[in-house]
């Protein structure tokens, strides 16, 4: 399986003629969804979900299927959308997917929480969306780690990776960081930091790696 990073929180998974895209939001080049036969969306925030991108993709390919939670699905009427929640298991673009989690992480006590689901793909790769969800019954090879958000602190990310115990952590959710911020976060989560229990890597947009 080849993992390609796109803008901010979006990734694409390719395996032969199978192509699956996760969270092509408003900070992602719409080209990320080209050729995809399935799309997963963790939640409704603009940096993870772009209605216009998904509708354009569905117009280009009427067979395109989308899996997401109820709040996003309600905004995509007329498309081939599947509403899923924690505990669901399904096949999308030939990949086996399991759903974990229910809620977005707390941003502030005065801001109402919204729904958020994470996706475990082929029992190998986990995208938690905007939450530090631990897939308790799974062994994660590659954890897509949201490294910067108004709801998180780096100390929490360190503990999160230690708890999930993946083979490696790959940075996502970094679109608001400049070079200084990327260096700071990478220093704390990388090999010069306190140790997160797994090798840490960051892909630049368009860069790929193999998920074994």
Paired tokens of 198: 């797994």
Separation CA 157–CA 134 (nearest Å): 12
Q: What is the pTM of this model?
A: 0.96
Closest CA to 9 of 36, 34, 29, 37: 29
Please tell me whether residue 58 adopts helix, strand or coil conformation: helix
Q: What is residue 124's predicted lDDT score, i.e. its pLDDT?
A: 96
Alpha-carbon 118 to chain mean position: 7
Task: Say if residues 10 and 210 touch (Cβ distance below 8 Å).
Answer: no
24 inside domain: yes
Residue 202 lies in domain: 2-207
Q: How many domains does the chain have?
A: 1
187 inside domain: yes
Task: Say if residues 163 and 134 touch (Cβ distance below 8 Å).
Answer: yes
14 inside domain: yes
Separation CA 3–CA 19 (nearest Å): 10
**R_g (Cα) of the chain, nearest Å:** 16
Query: Which residues on adjacent β-strands are paired with residue 97?
Result: 90, 121
What residues contact residue 59 under an 8 Å CB cut-off, 6+ apart? Answer: none
212 inside domain: no
138 inside domain: yes
CATH number at residue 15: 3.60.15.10
Q: What is residue 196's predicted lDDT score, i.e. its pLDDT?
A: 93
Paired tokens of 197: 């229990």
Could you list the pLDDT tens digit for every one of the 212 residues in the chain?
Answer: 999 999 899 999 999 999 999 999 999 999 999 999 999 999 999 999 999 999 999 999 999 999 999 999 999 999 999 999 999 999 999 999 999 999 999 999 999 999 999 999 999 999 999 999 999 999 999 999 999 999 999 999 999 999 999 999 999 999 999 999 999 999 999 988 999 989 999 999 999 999 97
Q: What is residue 52's predicted lDDT score, i.e. its pLDDT?
A: 97
Closest CA to 174 of 184, 165, 161: 184
N-term to C-term CA, the chain: 7
């Amino acid at each position: 399986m080849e993992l390609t990073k796109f803008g901010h929180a979006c990734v694409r998974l390719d395996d032969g003629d199978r192509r699956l895209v996760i969270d092509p939001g408003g900070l992602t080049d719409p080209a990320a969804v080209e050729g995809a036969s399935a799309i997963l969306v963790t939640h409704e925030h603009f940096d993870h979900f772009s209605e216009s991108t998904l509708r354009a993709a569905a117009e280009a390919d009427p067979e395109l299927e989308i899996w997401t939670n109820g709040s996003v699905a309600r905004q995509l009427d007329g498309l081939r959308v599947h509403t899923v929640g924690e505990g669901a298991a399904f096949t999308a673009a030939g990949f086996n997917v399991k759903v974990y989690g229910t809620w977005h992480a707390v941003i502030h006590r005065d801001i109402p929480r919204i729904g958020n689901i994470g996706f475990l793909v082929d029992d190998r790769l986990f995208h938690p969306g905007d939450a530090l969800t631990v897939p308790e019954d799974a062994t994660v090879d590659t954890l897509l780690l949201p490294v910067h958000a108004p709801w998180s602190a780096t100390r929490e990310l360190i503990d999160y990776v230690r708890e999930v115990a993946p083979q490696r952590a790959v940075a996502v959710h970094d679109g608001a960081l400049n070079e200084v911020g990327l260096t700071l976060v990478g220093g704390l989560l990388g090999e010069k930091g306190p140790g997160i229990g797994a090798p840490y890597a960051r892909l630049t947009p368009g860069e790929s790696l193999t998920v074994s």
